[in-house]
């Protein structure tokens, strides 16, 4: 039976009792003070050592949270996961503590932040609710949405340095912070209450009907064939990239016929419901279940689960690690987020399939890494248009004279208040209205950067005789399904929206897209373009009206429309677009993009900034392979610009004094490993065999006989390695291990062919011709191993439209 209690003092005593017994701990505190961390430190440390799942979310609102408190949290136990909400000037006031054991759950919510005075000495009011499962589950779900929101960043050594810098700068500019905070609190209390509603959801489904047996079509046929090859080549992970509108979910359903038990993971409930319904149409005879943390249908052939639910240890462990033969992750570009990592680490499926329309390296999404770089099939929206599977477009780039260089950039978005100052002007609204009137067709989706901009433009258009609605997470007067229906019937002209239509919902009759926001993410821009490209009987083409100013990414966004991208080189202002499409840019836009291209930061600086972004994300210096799989820039660009990754690290001053000495001494060797020709993988396999001997012995000479067992096993271990590098006429004879023949191959190819002043092969002995000081062995070993592993991965890596990269 549930129990409710009021606590007016010493809440911290209750928290410590619960922390010590809990299996799951979620703490949400608007700010954290060092005194509060000290108060709970021993209990949190004990809980972490006992294996509790601990998540803490705090914020940077007014920079009250002390850097020392965050540093203390980091020091307790690495298993305690902390994220920081970037408030961007908005208020962030939550205070909640959630605890769960195998038998009980309790939620405390009220006024106490994470400080000693709030938890022990001060006057605070908090309510504790015990064993009210529905309330607890709802609170936990809301916590997870907040914890994993895009506005949060993980706390690590790198993000702590950044926070401390901004904290110091803010307090330097605001010495009377306590007074300012009090005034802001008082002001917010006097503001009218905005009714917060959950985001409206809508499921656009085909009419329930007997379709008979549903068969794959169009791109699904080709993708299934490539996935079949992937299975035959013994890959256990793959990514399929298919443009919006080509049936990714149905593809997943058809592919799942090869497996007994399936887990389908997505980040939104409506996607789960749509996926379940699609699977039912393909395989109506099977049982399906939605797992939301409350009900587990153990006899279902396919389970559809939210990633937020599965990110909690208590929910994850409802399943055994090998319970599912196939795991499918929808909208896979989200899989780089921390919320997915626990599930990906926990489960051991026979196959992992990621499906997405937009894995964009420019947004630093680690999607390739999760699937080991294996892109089984790729078909973007441009090729789909050429095949007449999606509608063509007519793109109009309209000049926006706003000077975005004067607006503060906050890492991945512009400062909202500063941006609004230029957006909420009648002259800007009039310009948008006239551009739209000149190009529009019948049904428009308009993408805005904020709720206030959407409301402002909707009101302005309505005042000029049009019927529009503003649709966003705080809208209570009209739901998404109602607005969609009205737009579809032609009863309204425009839906102004803020990120509600990026994924999951489509309106095929939409024939006009209006962009009135800076393009901060090429992934999001691609998703939004896809909203207008579905085929419809009343649509010949989709009109895209895009305001282009000197904002970030403006000079590269048009590469999305280019059928002949230039692989890292300067983009053309007039891309080669598909047949039946048009691209029309204002002269001022062309001049602007050319000027931006000339002024763009030097390539070295871009590589450095992309490296720093990744370093902050993972909290350490990336390895070469991590840089390749997770970085925003292609790894080969570092080799082109700096000869080697270590050369880049030296240039970027990312090496210690000791490491710099080692780099200077052995730079030629590092470049040699980086650049030696690799038509096959054999040289790196020999080097990897040497590295297996460890830091003290890796550089000692080796014979073909010593290498042979490892060499043969490595190539035969994976079907794709065997097919790529070990399947010509002479190599096939070696599939059955024959030491003499394998040794002969090793001697005549990798050992003889590694032609370098730094290696030699004489009298059946392969060795290095340079000496390595004892004190340098470990550092050089680690760097050589990084390069070797990177080059082997890069060599075998699956790529779009090409089975393997050489």
Pair type for strands 444-447 and 494-497: parallel
Domain count, the chain: 4
Q: What is the CATH number of the domain that holds 108?
A: 3.30.870.10
What confidence score (pLDDT) does residue 232 get?
87
Which pLDDT does position 86 carry in this prediction?
Answer: 87
Q: Is the pLDDT of residue 384 over 60?
A: yes
Instruction: Answer whether residue 385 is part of any domain.
Output: no
Q: Is residue 642 part of a domain?
A: no
Provide the percentage of residues in the chain whose pLDDT is more than 70.
Answer: 86
| 386: in domain | no
Q: In this predicted structure, what is the pLDDT of residue 601?
A: 55
Has residue 574 got a pLDDT over 70? no
pLDDT of residue 169: 86
pLDDT category at 189 given cuts 50, 70, 90 is very low
**Given this model, what pLDDT does residue 737 score?**
94
Q: What is the pLDDT of residues 775-792, one digit of tens each?
A: 999 999 999 999 999 999
Average pLDDT, the chain: 85
Quick one: average pLDDT of 445-457? 92
Q: Are residues 235 and 183 in the same domain?
A: no
What is the mean predicted confidence (pLDDT) over 329-358? 81
Whether residue 188 is predicted with pLDDT greater than 70 in this model: the reply is: no
Neighbour count for residue 140 (Cβ, 10 Å): 23
Rg (C-alpha) for the chain, rounded Å, is 29
Same domain assignment for residues 375 and 406: no
Residues 27 and 86 reside in one and the same domain: yes
Helix intervals (H) in 443-552? 451-463, 480-488, 522-530
What's the confidence (pLDDT) of residue 799? 42
Q: Residue 359 has what pLDDT? A: 57
284 and 145 in a common domain? no
- Per-residue pLDDT averaged across 688-704, rounded? 96
Given a cut of 90, is residue 372 above it in pLDDT? no
Q: Is 475 part of any domain?
A: yes
Burial of 126 from C-beta contacts in 10 A (0-12 / 13-18 / 19+): buried
Confidence (pLDDT) at 111: 93
Boundary of a domain, candidates 345, 379, 413: 379
Question: What are the Cα distances from residue 637, in Å, to 262, 606, 645, 804?
Answer: 39, 10, 10, 20
| pLDDT of residue 236 exceeding 60 | yes
The answer on pLDDT for 54 being more than 70 is: yes
The answer to the question of residue 621 being in a domain is: no
Q: Mean of the pLDDT values across residues 96-117?
A: 93
55 and 170: one domain?
Answer: yes
Query: Residue 521 sits in which domain range?
Result: 391-599
Domain stops at, among 346, 379, 412:
379
Q: What is the end-to-end Cα distance of the chain in Å, rounded?
A: 64
133: confidence class by pLDDT, cuts 50, 70, 90 = confident
Say if CB 470 and CB 494 are below 8 A apart: no
Q: Over 80: is that where the pLDDT of 166 sits?
A: yes
Q: Is residue 359 part of a domain?
A: yes
Determine the pLDDT at residue 9.
Answer: 87
Residues 343 and 250 in one domain: yes
Q: Is residue 614 part of a domain?
A: no
Same domain? For 172 and 309 the reply is no
pLDDT band at 481 (very low <50, low <70, confident <90, very high): confident
Q: What is the pLDDT of residue 198?
A: 35
Q: Please identify, among 599, 623, 640, the residue that sits at the C-terminal boundary of a domain.
A: 599
Is the pLDDT at 345 greater than 60? The verdict is yes
Determine the average pLDDT of the residues in 186-215: 40
- pLDDT of 682-692, one tens digit each? 999 999 999 99
Q: Residue 805 has what pLDDT?
A: 37
Whether 413 and 533 share a structural domain: yes
| Average pLDDT over every residue of 287-301 | 76
Res 734 pLDDT > 50: yes
Give residue 40's pLDDT.
Answer: 96
Q: Picking from 527-536, 556-565, 760-769, which range would have the lowest pLDDT averaged per residue?
A: 556-565
- Whether residue 612 lies inside any domain: the answer is no
Most confident of 81-95, 342-356, 549-563, 572-586: 342-356
Locus of tokens 């309209």: 398
Residue 521 sits in the same domain as residue 418: yes
- Structure letter (DSSP) for residue 567: T
Lowest mean pLDDT among 111-120, 247-256, 267-276: 267-276
Q: Work out the percent of the chain whose per-residue pLDDT is above 90.
A: 53
| pLDDT value at residue 638 | 92
Question: CA nearest 356: which of 341, 336, 342?
Answer: 336
What is the rounded CA–CA span in Å between residue 434 and residue 427? Answer: 11
Backbone angles phi, psi at 109, to 5 degrees: -145, 135
Instruction: Specify whether 70 is located in the same domain as 106.
Output: yes
Per-residue tokens: 726? 């070990």
Bigger pLDDT: 744 vs 339:
744
Tell me the pTM.
Answer: 0.65
In this prediction, residue 365 has a pLDDT band, given cuts at 50, 70 and 90, of very low
pLDDT of residue 569: 47
Can you give the CATH number for the domain in which 552 is found? 3.40.50.300
Cα 519 vs. chain centroid, distance in angstroms? 17
Residue 203 has pLDDT above 70, yes or no: no
Looking at the fold, whether 447 and 578 belong to one and the same domain comes out as yes
User: For residues 370 and 309, what is the distance between their CA atoms, to the nearest angstrom?
Assistant: 20
Q: Give the Cα-Cα-Cα angle 702, 704, 710 (nearest 5 degrees).
A: 90
Most confident of 342-351, 373-382, 606-615: 342-351
- Candidates 301, 321, 297, 318; CA nearest to 309 is 318
- Distance (Å, rounded) from C-alpha 249 to C-alpha 226? 16
Which pLDDT band holds residue 599 (cuts at 50, 70, 90)? low
Average pLDDT over residues 193-218: 46
Q: What is the DSSP letter of 305?
A: E
- Where does the pLDDT of residue 476 fall: very low under 50, low under 70, confident under 90, or very high at 90 and above? low
For the cut 50, the answer to whether the pLDDT of residue 191 exceeds it is no
Q: Are residues 414 and 489 in the same domain?
A: yes
User: If 0-12 CB within 10 Å is exposed, 13-18 middle and 19+ buried, where does residue 103 land?
Assistant: exposed
């Amino acid at each position: 039976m549930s129990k409710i209690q009021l606590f007016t003092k010493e809440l911290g005593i209750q928290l410590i009792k619960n922390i010590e017994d809990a299996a799951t701990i979620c703490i949400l505190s608007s700010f954290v003070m060092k005194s509060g961390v000290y108060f709970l430190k021993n209990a949190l440390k004990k809980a972490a050592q006992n294996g509790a799942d601990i998540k803490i979310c705090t914020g940077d609102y007014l920079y009250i949270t002390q850097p020392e408190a965050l540093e203390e949290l980091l020091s307790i136990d690495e298993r305690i996961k902390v994220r920081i909400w970037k408030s961007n000037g908005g208020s962030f006031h939550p205070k909640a503590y959630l605890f769960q054991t195998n038998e009980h759950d309790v939620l405390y919510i009220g006024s106490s932040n994470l400080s000693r005075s709030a938890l022990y000495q001060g006057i605070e009011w908090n309510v504790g609710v015990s064993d009210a499962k529905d309330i607890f589950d709802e609170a936990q779900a809301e916590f997870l949405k907040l914890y994993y929101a895009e506005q949060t960043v993980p706390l690590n050594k790198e993000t702590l340095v950044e926070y401390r810098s901004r904290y110091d700068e803010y307090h330097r500019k605001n010495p009377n912070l306590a007074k300012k905070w009090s005034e802001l609190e008082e002001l917010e209390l006097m503001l009218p209450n905005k009714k917060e509603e959950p985001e409206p959801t809508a499921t656009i489904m085909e009419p329930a009907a007997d379709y008979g047996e549903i068969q794959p079509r169009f791109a699904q046929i080709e993708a299934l064939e490539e996935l079949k090859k992937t299975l035959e080549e013994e890959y256990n992970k793959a990514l399929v990239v298919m443009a919006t509108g080509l049936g990714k979910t149905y593809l997943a359903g058809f592919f799942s016929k090869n497996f007994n038990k399936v887990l389908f993971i997505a980040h939104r409930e409506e996607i789960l419901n749509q996926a379940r319904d699609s699977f039912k149409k393909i395989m109506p005879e099977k049982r399906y279940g939605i797992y939301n943390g409350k009900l587990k249908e153990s006899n279902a052939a396919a389970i559809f689960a939210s990633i937020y639910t599965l990110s909690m240890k208590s929910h994850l462990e409802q399943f055994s690690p090998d319970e599912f033969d196939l795991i499918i992750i929808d909208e896979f570009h989200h899989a780089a987020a921390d919320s997915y990592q626990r599930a990906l680490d926990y489960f051991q499926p026979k196959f992992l399939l990621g499906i997405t329309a937009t894995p964009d390296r420019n947004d630093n999404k680690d999607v390739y890494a999760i699937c080991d770089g294996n892109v089984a099939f790729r078909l973007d929206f441009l090729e789909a248009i050429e095949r007449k599977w999606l509608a063509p477009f007519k793109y109009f780039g309209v000049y926006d004279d706003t000077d975005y260089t004067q607006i503060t950039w906050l890492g991945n978005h512009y400062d909202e208040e500063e941006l609004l100052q230029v957006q909420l002007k009648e002259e800007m609204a009039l310009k948008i209205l006239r551009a739209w009137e000149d190009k529009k067709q019948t049904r428009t989706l308009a993408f805005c950067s904020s709720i206030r901009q959407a409301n402002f433009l909707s009101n302005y258009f309505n005042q000029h005789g049009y019927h529009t609605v503003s649709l966003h997470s705080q809208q209570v007067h009209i739901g998404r399904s109602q607005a969609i229906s009205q737009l579809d019937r032609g009863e309204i002209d425009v839906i102004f929206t803020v990120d509600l239509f990026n994924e999951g919902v489509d309106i095929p009759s939409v024939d006009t897209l209006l962009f009135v926001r800076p393009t901060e993410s090429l992934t999001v821009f691609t998703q939004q373009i896809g909203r207008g490209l579905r085929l419809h009987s009343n649509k010949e083409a989709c009109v895209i009206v895009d305001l282009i100013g000197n904002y970030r990414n403006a000079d590269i966004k048009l590469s999305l429309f280019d059928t002949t991208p230039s692989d890292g080189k300067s983009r053309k202002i007039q891309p080669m677009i598909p047949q039946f499409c048009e691209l029309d840019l204002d002269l001022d836009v062309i001049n602007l993009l050319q000027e931006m291209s000339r002024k763009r930061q030097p390539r070295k600086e871009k590589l450095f900034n992309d490296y720093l972004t990744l370093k902050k994300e993972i909290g350490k210096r990336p390895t070469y392979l991590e840089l390749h799989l997770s970085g925003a820039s292609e790894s080969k660009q570092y080799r082109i610009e700096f000869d080697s990754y270590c050369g880049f690290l030296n240039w970027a001053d990312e090496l210690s004094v000791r490491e710099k000495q080692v780099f200077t001494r052995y730079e030629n060797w590092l470049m040699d490993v980086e650049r030696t020709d690799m038509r096959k993988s054999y040289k790196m396999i020999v080097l990897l065999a040497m590295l297996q001997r460890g830091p003290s012995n890796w550089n000692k000479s080796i014979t073909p006989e010593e290498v042979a067992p490892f060499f043969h096993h490595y190539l035969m271990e994976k079907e794709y390695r065997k097919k790529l590098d070990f399947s010509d006429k002479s190599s096939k004879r070696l599939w059955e291990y024959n030491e003499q023949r394998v040794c002969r191959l090793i001697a005549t190819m990798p050992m003889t062919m590694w032609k370098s002043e730094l290696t030699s092969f004489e009298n059946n002995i392969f060795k290095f011709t340079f000496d390595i000081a004892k004190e340098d062995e470990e550092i050089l070993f680690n760097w050589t191993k990084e390069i070797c592993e990177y080059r082997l991965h890069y060599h075998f890596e699956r790529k779009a439209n090409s089975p393997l990269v050489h």
